[in-house]
Structure 1
């Protein structure tokens, strides 16, 4: 969980756990209390109506509980950089000033946090710095508090999804693709997100059966996957990919899984949970609850 030190809102009682995936276009939400999760989504009329739409969601549903939020890529920025050799409690502030020439907003208007990247012996320690608008976190917390809920934390959709991979070894890849979207590749090793990449030009894989697509589409897709696998080994100095998980809206998942297995000769497993059976687009909201559990 990131941005945890910026959360300063009164804790409310409530057994339900609520996950939100926020983007400028849509809010996807899941509430877990008992055996059967509840799912909701709301369209956001315009970017400046995001917080108002969050408030309306809670008003419509009457949901109460602990809320964990996953931000879509449009709502945060991230930068990879070397970790300064200073006390841990000073790192976020120091890194914040390091990005002042890389962001449009004044650093004082951002909340900044980071997570450590896996380190190999020949390189200096590195981190992924993540930042978002301070006003977004503040207004989000206020809206959730007004709904008699407790904002437990804010994270990114990539970190939330990575927490669904629970095996420490070997390097494992998650391919996530809702309908109409480009595939997202996440590589996880030793419970840490070590690589992420949006694979452009392959939205058709989630929209039409594999057998109806031109063969070059999957050929190019597998080539981009192999390039990613090679990068993980050659540049990140990590072991070779050992397993692929798939969470996709593809209409013929069995054919996709078989094709991936045939090409890469790796175990390929469909990720299955109640969010995916409802709609794969709900997975980041559901995954945010997994990260909240891990955060204790």
Structure 2
């Protein structure tokens, strides 16, 4: 189903040298653009631009914006407002039937009608004593069709569609111990994610932390950080007791906080000695001029866009 949808809008782009990421957020669109040849050679860094929507929608704001840009290979990053990530017990059916069955299995927990569900899924790591599960990414098919049509009509080449929540895995080694990522961007909830061997094992949204990024490191010590640390501990206990995963060996902070460098010490004072700031992989030198905590979804998408892979519609890698 995904491939049939994508063939209507994608095409090979042998002459396209410009790369463009559109990170679609609730109140703004983040554009990250670069020339493929110059980016690879290190001659220039990507150009970042934030476009406030100011009451418009993504679909009404994009046409004028796209006309200003050179024809590009485009990666679309959906912010949490544009998709749902739903864990589900894996049905005992053949893999070939999964995409047809999932909309009907999700109809009671997803707010989209089955006929408007565009989805993909990825298996969660199997653990002893736990039932097999999948993470299902669901977005509106009608919205994606309109979005891709706008891009194609403006002369651009859509290459991939990505769910923001799954991209931070790319910043970690593909092999390694159990890691817990604490992430938050302005205007969004805190998300706790557990990754092991490059696979997303657990994801949890925390409400009530809108002031976290606006509070100084000193102010955080008056209750708000204690509440967050309690939720971190609960999540760590859950993945060991319920998911049967090995203990968390690293707590990685990916918070768009102006005093991010000071936060690991606060975690460590509370006994979370494995806390540290998540940094760029060593070989991503081209992104060094960008602030990772603010721009990491677009940075990861641009990295993927540079890779010589087959054109796909990808909700979840």
- TM-score, normalised via structure 2 length: 0.82
CA RMSD of aligned residues (A): 2.5
Q: 2:138 aligned with 1:131, yes or no? A: yes
Q: 2:261–2:277: 8 Å Cα contact kept in structure 1? A: no
Which one of the candidate residues 77, 96, 102 is aligned to 2:103? 96
TM-superposed CA distance for 1:158, in Å, is 0.6
How is 1:277-296 mapped onto 2 (pairs within 5 angstroms)?
277-278=290-291, 280-292=293-305, 296=309
Write the distance in 1 (CA, Å) between the matches of 2:209 and 2:173. Answer: 27
The residue aligned with 2:159 is 152
Q: Secondary structure at the match of 1:140?
A: helix
1:294 CA displacement:
7.0
Matched pairs, number: 293
Q: 3-state DSSP class of the match of 1:124?
A: coil
Change (3 A) 1:16 1:237: farther
Please give the secondary structure, in 2, of the residue aligned with 1:206.
helix
Residues of 1 paired with 2:2 and 2:50: CA distance?
24
Q: Secondary structure at the match of 2:159?
A: strand
Choose from 17, 24, 43 the match for 2:52. 43
Q: SS at the partner of 1:163?
A: helix
Distance in 2 (CA, whole Å) between partners of 1:280 and 1:25 is 18
**Cα deviation, residue 214, structure 1:** 4.7
- Aligned twin of 1:241: 248
Distance 2:137 2:187 in 1: 26
Distance 2:223 2:125 in 1: 35
Structure 1, residues 91-135: CA drift from partner, whole Å, max 9, x if none? 111111212233344311221221111111323321112211111
1:223 aligned to 2:230? yes
Out of 220, 231, 254, the residue aligned to residue 261 of structure 2 is 254
Partner in structure 2 of residue 17 of structure 1:
19
Return the alpha-carbon distance in structure 2 between the equivalents of residues 30 and 4 of structure 1: 26
> Does the CA contact (< 8 Å) of 2:264 and 2:275 recur in 1?
no
Which of 181, 198, 207 pairs up with 1:174? 181
Contact 1:208/1:251 (8 A) holds in 2? no
1:184 aligns with one of 191, 199, 204:
191
Q: Does 1:161 align with 2:168?
A: yes
Paired residue for 1:7? 6
Query: Once the 2 structures are TM-superposed, how far is the Cα of residue 141 of structure 1 from its aligned partner?
Result: 1.0
- How far apart are 1:264 and its partner, in Å? 0.7
Q: Describe the shift of the 1:225–1:276 C-alpha distance in structure 2 as closer, same or farther (beyond 3 A).
A: farther
Q: Given that residues 130 and 242 in structure 2 are in contact (C-alpha distance below 8 angstroms), is that contact kept between their aligned partners in structure 1?
A: no
Tell me, in whole angstroms, the C-alpha distance in 2 between the residues paired with 1:4 and 1:173.
33
- Tell me if the contact between 1:4 and 1:154 (Cα under 8 Å) persists in the aligned partners: no
Q: Which residue does 1:26 correspond to in 2?
A: 28
What's the offset of the Cα at 1:256? 0.5
1:229 match: secondary structure: helix
Structure 1, 210-219 or 152-161: larger mean CA deviation = 210-219
Unaligned runs of 5+ in 2: 310-317
Q: Is this contact kept in 2: 1:181–1:203, CA < 8 A?
A: yes
Residue equivalent to 2:313: none
- The answer for unaligned runs of 5 or more in structure 1 is none
- Distance in 2 (alpha carbons) for counterparts of 1:205 and 1:104: 29
> Aligned residue for 2:149?
142
Indicate which of 253, 268, 274 corresponds to 1:266: 274
Note if contact 1:64-1:149 (Cα within 8 Å) is conserved in structure 2. Answer: yes
